Structure 1
Amino acid sequence: MNRSKTTFSLSPYLFVAPAALLFGLTIILPIALTFAFSFYDWNGFGAMKFVGFDNYARAFHDRVYLASYWHIFIYIVLTVVLEVFCGLLLAGLITMKRRGSGLFRVAFFTPVMLPMIVVSYLWKFVYNSDFGLINALLSGIGLESWTRVWLGDPQIALYAVTFVSGWVYAGYYMTIFYAGIQRIPNDIYESAYLDGATDRDIFFKIKIPMIRDLVDVAIMLCVLGGFQAFDLFYVMTNGGPYNSTEIVTTYIVKVVFSNMSVGYGSALAVLMSIVIAILGILTNKLKKKESGSLEY
């Protein structure tokens, strides 16, 4: 009986062990190694030289690295508008029970299904200054002065890349908001129409307030997605021109794989993780404070 009890008590751990081992090898171990490497000067192959906090001190004097956070901030603010708010407006439009709303729903969601690499190369062609569609269209309607080297101008390259992100993910957030709006009982709409409410009133005074939690989650996803952005920037501009579209992830890749500075790149990655953690904590506190004020 003792043996059977021992076997039974160990069985849950045996079932969990493969998943825990996989999680440890793929998540915990890389995080621990990245943190350890951040205290060394190492190129990934030769001898490791302990430098303490020198890599972190260097990061706070790295203008390109510090500017990359400003670029992410601009990117996040613009994507909140282009993705979340535009997705919310699209969800409001396709839930008005107008003819063809299903077709529009599919059309708006189609870019989400395309791989980001494909989207990046597609829009590189659209933005091409020599034979791109945008410059060709502007020239065709007599607006040659508006033509630009869209991805080669430091003043507008970041906005050009951000627009592509909005074009892709607006349909994604539209689908989330559409699902939330579909859960609102029809009785509420009927009562509002009887009171003389218009479609605009129903959208701003009923639909949006009743899916407020989804909007908050979408904004949070947009913020976190801004720090995780990589492939779109890497393919379209690779941080150029003149580091005007450099973001943290693309810069870390350059530091590690181009400059062969694993230690410094690890320190940059640790700092980015700390920034994301602080943002998550602040957002959670603001959310709790807002929930408490509403309950009060």
Structure 2
Amino acid sequence: MLHAAGLCRRFRISRPWPAAPLWLDAVDDVTLSLGRGKTLGIVGESGCGKSTLSRMLVGILAPSAGTLHVDGVNLAQLRGDRWREVMRDVQMVFQSPYTALNPRLKIGEIVREPLDIHEAHLSKKERGERVIAMLERVGLHAGHAARYPYSLSGGQQQRVGIARALVRPARVVICDEPVSALDVSVQAQVVNLLRELQDDLRVSYVFVSHDLAVVANISHDIAVMYMGRVVESGAARDVLQTPRHPYTQALVDSANVPDPRVERSRTPRVLAGDLPRPTDPPSGCRFRTRCWMAQDICSKSTPALIHRSGAPQRVACHFA
């Protein structure tokens, strides 16, 4: 459903004269694929480029380089109405439900907005009926349509965001940390709702998060990002149970184990050093300044994201 090849996004950071501007490669040479009815999880620490990548996938940001295909169609070759026709099937659920909903509109108007834009040939009554049906499908009721966002809880607001994304048939939904602003119990409810809707509608998700537990619960495949690059990707089971890249190993070790005896007995790896400046990344492997396996070759050669030593997942590490 979605295929990105060599996606890059560079930002120019101006500085007071006479200093030269800085360049920030927020996303650098990212290649990934998403199957029909599947979920691709994208994980990494804050500042690794996850949100920038998600905004490129949904069309909010244009890539500086690389190609993006939606259901086999190359978006770089489309313009105007044809581009909008393809991208209307790619929707987004934003991180913060408090800022993603227009406070001046009622819930029914918010959810109906995609229909007003893309399904204007339908009567207002038909559009209203589809809104009520979708609200009920995400666990709300018809009475919520007449209310304003401020009167809803965070979990209910995020359900509204999901209803807006799926009120018309969508092929791909980009979920940019959709549960990070919610309580743990509400997180589970929203994740379960997304899984149920995926089973019913055969929609594909790109699920962006820094929480490995949430990603493991919903994802079929996982891509791990560090400083704008994918360092490991593959089936969720392979990446989480047998991580090969040192950064992925540190991420997995950082996740809490819900068993006090196991948690006390294990010795998780702790990364040394600080995150390098994004405007001045290390040469070669960008993780080498914090890696316990780093050797001379790591500073001279950038490791390719390939299958190594018979591993099922792809890893960007010389010694994986």
TM-score category (smaller protein): under 0.3
TM-score by length of 1: 0.24
- Higher gyration radius (CA): 1
Larger helix fraction of residues:
1
Larger strand fraction of residues:
2
